[in-house]
Amino acid sequence: MRGVESTITTDQQLAIQRWTLKTAIMYEYRESRRKHAERFFKPRDRRTMFENRTVDAHVFLFAGHYVGPYSLWTSDADIPLNIHFEGERTDFPAYSFTFAIGQLALQLFAFRYPVESGARQIQFALPGIYKEATVQISPVRWNRQWPPEVKFDQRGIIEWSKTWRTFPAAEPPSHGSGL
* Residue 110 confidence class, pLDDT cut points 50, 70, 90: confident
In this prediction the pTM is 0.80
- Rounded CA-CA distance 89/163 in Å is 19
Instruction: Please say whether the beta carbons of 105 and 65 come within 8 A.
Output: yes
- Rounded CA-CA distance 82/90 in Å is 6
Q: How far apart, in Å, do the first and last CA atoms of the chain sit?
A: 29
pLDDT at 129 over 50: yes
> What are the tens digits of pLDDT across the range 42-59?
888 888 888 888 777 788
- Residues with Cβ within 8 Å of 168's Cβ and at least 6 positions away in sequence, in order, are none
Q: Tell me the percentage of the chain whose pLDDT exceeds 90.
A: 22
